[in-house]
Amino acid sequence: MSSPDSKTSLKQDTKLTHSGREPRSFHGFVNPPIVHASTVLYPDVETMVTGGQTYSYARRGNPTTDSLENALKDIEGAEGVKIANSGLNAVALAIMSCVKSGDHILIADTAYGPTRHFADTVLPSIGVSVEYYDPSLGSEIRSLFRAETAAVFTEAPGSLSFEMQDIPAIAEAAREIDASVLMDNTWASPLFCQPLALGVDLSIQAGTKYIVGHSDAMLGTVASSERAWEKLDALCGAMGCHVAPDDIYLGLRGLRTLSVRLERHQRNTFEILDWLKGQPQIGTLRYPALKSDPGYEIWKRDFSGSSGLFAFDFVDGTTKEQNFKFLNALKLYGLGYSWGGFESLAIPVRLKGMRTATPFDVNLQSVRLHIGLEDPEDLIKDLDQALEKAFG
């Protein structure tokens, strides 16, 4: 039996509590200190010219940054982790570490809107060809490979539509042509999905969401396999990537309670989904952890839990005015684009016209909800009164 000192033998909840902490290095204090620094001094010129100490300049790391990176390295099962200043920045860094001028990248047609904007505006300007693909392809993605295909960008579940992808099948196909596979895993967090174990090279998180967990800091993370680490590390160094230590610390603080928060988000969400099923104004529920969802079998195979984010369609015939009236009537759900914090949120969703490879022609009014840590009975009452005001 492995020793409790062996990090590989520890369960995820234990890693969340202990990884990235070295109390003996900081006079016994439980949490690592916030190190505000730029200049690092050397004891002598010999140490300076040989690089013979741990830190050389704060842009290249400090104890606060190392604490979060090391913690996520343990939790993700990664060769290394880089911290970015937002989720979108993490997406951009991950992609840029895998492509160069003349390359071709495949991106899931369900990708997060800002990811698409980056792909449509920045990548062509540096000579990278972008192609969107049907997220249901799985191993059939081979039919889209070119000689110059360098990477496949996946997101599971997909943004707004919550469609699932067969990540292991895509990874196996990509490996045949030595293409890198990237996955935006923000919805599940590394607690409920382990992309690197599924064959992914770069696992991306908008740490702003569940890792920070308190709606008070912006962070992105990229966890790398051994195969992709050298290029990611070199790119971040060359681009001078650095995140403020105060924000890093808020990520560390949030990480410690990730498990208990996600458990509550998940439990509350299922209660609210059960209630929504019985409402005549509600049509399709978009949440892969539901047995009725088309992506349920993939979710069950590859994920160990689900989060608080889902969408639903109103029944056919619902007007935009009714949708907006419903949203404006909500009292406990804030109207905001982010999610992953302690609070419940809502936004309108228009699926039609958001796709290019696989047009979404469903002409329905939809809503995305993030279910927070409030009492679910109160959240249900709020939904009920908003439906009454919108539909009578």
Backbone φ and ψ for 83, nearest 5 degrees, come out as -100, 135
259-391 matches 11-256 in CATH topology: no
Q: Which CATH class is domain 11-256?
A: alpha beta
Q: Which residues on adjacent β-strands are paired with residue 183?
A: 154, 203
Q: What is the pLDDT of residue 387?
A: 98
Predicted confidence at residue 355, as pLDDT, reads 87
Q: Tell me which of 184, 201, 302, 313 is the catalytic residue.
A: 184
**Whether 277 is catalytic:** no
| Dihedral sign computed on CA atoms, order 235, 74, 111, 130 | positive
pLDDT of 1 higher than 80: no
Q: How confident is the model at residue 27 (pLDDT cuts 50, 70, 90)?
A: low
Mean pLDDT, residues 137-158 taken together: 98
Q: Is 303 helix (H, G, I), strand (E, B) or coil?
A: coil
pLDDT tens by residue, 31-75? 888 999 899 999 999 999 998 999 999 888 899 999 999 999 999
Question: What ranges do the domains of the chain cover?
Answer: 11-256, 259-391
**209 included as an active-site residue:** yes
Candidate CATH numbers 3.90.1150.10, 3.40.50.300, 3.40.50.2000, 3.30.420.40; the one for domain 259-391 = 3.90.1150.10
* 261 catalytic residue (yes or no): no
Quick one: pLDDT at residue 13? 78
Tell me what pLDDT residue 8 has.
65
Q: What is d(CA 222, CA 87) in angstroms, rounded to the nearest whole number?
A: 9
Asked about 267 being catalytic, the answer comes back as no
Give pTM, 2 decimals. Answer: 0.93
Find the range with the poorest average confidence among 105-109, 123-127, 161-165, 353-357: 353-357
Q: What is the mean pLDDT of residues 122-147?
A: 98
pLDDT band at 4 (very low <50, low <70, confident <90, very high): very low
Tell me the CA distances in angstroms from 95 to 30, 92, 122, 151, 181, one per residue in order: 36, 5, 11, 8, 10
Q: Which of 7, 42, 59, 389 is catalytic?
A: 59
| Distances, alpha carbon 283 to alpha carbons 127, 293, 299, 325, in Å | 43, 12, 21, 18
Report which of residues 16 and 378 the model is more confident about: 378
Per cent of the chain over pLDDT 70 is: 98
- Strands 129-133 and 334-335 come out as unpaired
Exactly one of 21, 74, 112, 201 is catalytic; name it. 112
Q: What is the DSSP letter of 104?
A: E
Point out the catalytic residue in the list 209, 261, 286, 355: 209
